[in-house]
Amino acid sequence: MIPFNEKLYEAIIKRSSSLCVGIDPCIDKLPESMIKQSKINPAETLEKFCKQVIISTAPHCCAFKLQIAMFSSIGCESVLEIISKWIRKNFPDHILIIDAKRGDIGSTAEHYVSELYDRYNAQAATINPLMGTESISPFLARRDKGLYILCRTSNPGANEIQNLRLETGERLFEKIASIARDKWNKNFQIGLVVGATVPEELKTVRKLCPNLPLLIPGVGAQGGSISEVIKSTIDAKNVLINSSRSIIFASKNETWAAAASNEAQRINNKINKLQSSNEN
């Protein structure tokens, strides 16, 4: 059995990329040519859009992150099933992450495990650690699967809770990182979600956990700096830099697929150039 961190490393090396393309297919942001059809048959339209985005961007990335709510909110969970199986079959060198941010205990957690890893074929999933080890353990039982633990997220309101000081002097996100490193990563499954919009906190997490994979959202539409991300991370071979809306909605006209490809290529080239400069 190959640990998740090794699968991730192999994907990054093989694809010469640290870019993760986020598939967040909001209906009202689809290309103009698809919006009318989406009113008639949203499932068919969503499947067509997602597959074309993936085909167009696959040469320039090493991972795809599918946001579960974008499918379930419009009753298109079956499309997510189809797309996830299709990715695993047709793009086996890419990592598939399901962004669900699940977090519960007992039998509920076990059902979430089955949902994400069996129904949706995820190689990794995003997990909310607020309920502690009981909510993480059912996922850890799938020793070949990865977990990206929410640590210091990219949204502005994250500061209200994740930066709270504990009696030990640690901030909450630092404590989460330490527990993930020391308690949950026995089988090399654990990664952390840390936003590109908080480069100082990103540096702190990287210092605390230099060997844990990182999933870094927030570049592109949220304004995070790729340059700051590269400066804040030591080993780029276990870091995924996620970009969603700026890639998949790069254009609304008939050239939207080419625009998505071009934007993914631009971001990936920028990442690789900055990583090379940082290493030198």
**E strand residue ranges, 167-275:** 190-194, 214-216, 239-243
Looking at residue 278, its pLDDT comes to 66
Angle made by CA atoms 233, 144, 100, in degrees to the nearest 5: 65
Considering the chain, what percentage of its residues have pLDDT values greater than 90?
Answer: 85
Assign domain 4-273 to a CATH class.
alpha beta
**What is the 8-class DSSP label of residue 91?**
-
Looking at residue 144, its pLDDT comes to 95
Whether 101 is catalytic: yes
Q: What tens digit of pLDDT does each residue of 230-275 get?
A: 988 876 789 999 999 999 999 999 999 999 999 999 999 999 999 8
Sketch the domain layout of the chain as residue ranges.
4-273
Looking at residue 277, its pLDDT comes to 79
pLDDT band at 185 (very low <50, low <70, confident <90, very high): very high
Amino acid identity of residue 154, one-letter, is S
Mean of pLDDT values over 49-63: 98
Looking at residue 22, its pLDDT comes to 97
Which member of 101, 203, 231, 237 is catalytic? 101
Looking at residue 32, its pLDDT comes to 87
The yes-or-no verdict on residue 213 having pLDDT over 80 is: yes
- Give the closest residue to 76 by CA, choosing from 50, 98, 100, 43: 43
Q: What is the mean pLDDT of the chain?
A: 94
The yes-or-no verdict on residue 221 having pLDDT over 80 is: no
Q: Which residue has the tokens 């939207």?
A: 256
What is the C-alpha to C-alpha distance for residues 30 and 47, in angstroms, rounded to an integer?
12
Looking at residue 235, its pLDDT comes to 66
**Residues 6 or more apart whose Cβ sits within 8 Å of residue 152:** 158, 162, 163, 173, 193, 194, 195, 198, 201, 202, 205
- Give the closest residue to 8 by CA, choosing from 232, 239, 234: 239
**What is the 8-class DSSP label of residue 128?**
-
Distances (CA, A) of 272 to 31, 129, 221, 265: 29, 32, 20, 10
Mean of pLDDT values over 192-207: 95
> Is the pTM above the cut of 0.85?
yes
Looking at residue 19, its pLDDT comes to 97
Looking at residue 276, its pLDDT comes to 85
